[in-house]
Amino acid sequence: MTSENIGALNDIRVVELGQLIAGPFCGQLLGDMGAEVIKVEPPRQGDPMRNWGHGEEKLWWEVVSRNKKSVSANLRIPEGQEIVRKLVEHADILIENFKPGTMEKWGLGPDVLHAINPRLIIVRVSGYGQTGPYSSRAGFGGIGEAMGGWRYIVGDPDRAPSRMGVSIGDSLAATYGCLGALASLHARERTGKGQVVDSALYEAVLQVMESMVPEYMVSGHIRKRTGSILEGVSPSNVYPTSDGEYLIGANQDAVFARLCNAMKRSDLASDERYATHLARARNLRELDEIIADWTRTLTVEQLEQLMIEHSVPAGKIFRAPEMLDDPHFEAREALVEVETERWGRFKMQGPFPKLSDTPSAIRRPAPTQVGQDNGEIYEGLLGLEPNEIARLKDAQAI
């Protein structure tokens, strides 16, 4: 953790109104890149993310709210809404992930905000987008994953669709929202005007679904759940070892030949059943059994050394303990240590991607208290007098 800010966005101010995952993750990405992120939380209870996570202690907040300042404002009353309008005067980007129509109901729609600050970029993350017949529906990440095509193809073919162990739909929508904000900053250099970035959960998922729709339109092919394999890609699977499991991806012809050499089975590379990508696809399960029979005779470490020696893409199945012990994670600073008031020192994922000249960084831990930066922002940035701050507190606006 460093106090120095040489990030690419160190001259950009962001107002984050969103809660839970999608909006805050977008703010996290921008904050890591150097932006000043002012997170607006409901007074007293704050963002529900403060109490989200897995295990006995809930630590997700510490990751998603790093590099942010917390102010409190009740957006459901006029005094709180006026605070946002004042903040917008000083902002470059505003992030929100409320149900479409909510911001307009609060008098904070794009027309109002752009009248205050024409240069403002407004990132709007929602389940179905700001337009269309489904736009008014409530939407969460899992629903977007289902509509975007992800859920149907994840899991074993003889079971109901599975989900990933992380909120991938929310994270994708947030990432595309961040991408749109960065593009809008570039466009603003030419036009002098801000714009609205409309990031829908289901469309964010749809973007990573490869050629699923064209495959159906041209050939009638509907992708199905295939468990731990990808249909038509072989060998590419998790294989058993004498002491665990190991992932091997050797589906390209030359790479498969190198795997065969490692197995001392060069005959497989010339066998017409396995010699080509298409042939291996037709005989995928049979080939996986041959490879599994071999990997079972080796430990994970023995198998890894053979894969490195023969230049075959492969790797261990990592959990948090393995990440913390791995020298590559350490060398790349993929995990960085953060000092927090509540939990002390621990490691979390470092900023990504890595920029050579304007590196991103974790400059401050997540705010401990709701509204802990009210003084700096409301008095220092907005210039509110102490008696006005007191009035807002009495009105339960902050």
pLDDT in tens, 271-324: 999 999 999 999 999 999 999 999 999 999 999 999 999 999 999 999 999 999
* Domain identity same for 185 and 50: yes
Domain carrying residue 273: 236-318
Pair 63, 346: CB distance under 8 Å? no
* Domain identity same for 199 and 256: no
pLDDT of residue 218: 98
Assess whether 170 carries a catalytic annotation. yes
d(CA 121, CA 186): 11
CA 122 to chain centre: 19
* Domain identity same for 338 and 368: yes
* Domain identity same for 64 and 179: yes
Element (H, E) at 262: helix 253-262
The amino acid at residue 198 is D
The angle subtended at Cα 185 by Cα 184 and Cα 191, nearest 5°, is: 80
Domain membership flag for residue 198 = yes
* Sign, Cα dihedral of 20, 25, 30, 31: positive
pLDDT of residue 148: 97
**Residue that has been written with the tokens 């599975």 in this structure:** 162
Largest CA distance in the chain: 85
Kindly tell me the burial class for residue 28, based on how many C-beta atoms sit within 10 Å of its own C-beta (0-12, 13-18, 19 or more).
buried
**CATH number, domain at 259?**
3.30.1540.10
Average pLDDT, the chain: 96
* Domain identity same for 309 and 380: no
* Domain identity same for 282 and 162: no
Q: Which of 47, 92, 170, 373 is catalytic?
A: 170
Residue 217 corresponds to which tokens in the numbers above? Answer: 């339109």
First to last CA, the chain: 30
Q: Which comes out higher in pLDDT, residue 215 or 230? A: 215
pLDDT of residue 107: 97
pLDDT of residue 232: 87
* Cβ neighbours for 347, distance < 8 A, ≥ 6 positions apart: 324, 335, 336, 337, 338
For residues 176-193, give the mean pLDDT.
Answer: 98
Asked if the model's pLDDT at residue 10 lies above 80, the reply is yes
- If one counts the domains in the chain, the total is 2
* Domain identity same for 307 and 334: no
* Domain identity same for 136 and 52: yes
* Cβ neighbours for 77, distance < 8 A, ≥ 6 positions apart: 395, 396, 397
* Sign, Cα dihedral of 251, 256, 262, 267: positive
Query: Per-residue confidence at 140, pLDDT binned at 50, 70, 90?
Result: confident
pLDDT of residue 297: 98
d(CA 95, CA 172): 15
pLDDT digits (tens, 9 = 90+) for 54-96: 988 999 999 999 999 999 999 999 999 999 999 999 999 999 9
The angle subtended at Cα 99 by Cα 93 and Cα 101, nearest 5°, is: 85
The angle subtended at Cα 293 by Cα 292 and Cα 296, nearest 5°, is: 80
Query: Per-residue confidence at 3, pLDDT binned at 50, 70, 90?
Result: confident
Of 318, 349, 379, the one marking the end of a domain is 318
pLDDT of residue 268: 97
* Domain identity same for 31 and 51: yes
* Domain identity same for 58 and 89: yes
Of 289, 318, 347, the one marking the end of a domain is 318
* Domain identity same for 43 and 117: yes
**CATH number, domain at 371?**
3.40.50.10540
Of 295, 318, 341, the one marking the end of a domain is 318
Q: Kindly give the pairing relationship between strand 335-340 and strand 344-349.
A: antiparallel
Whole-number percent of the chain with pLDDT over 90: 94
Beta-ladder partners of 126: 200
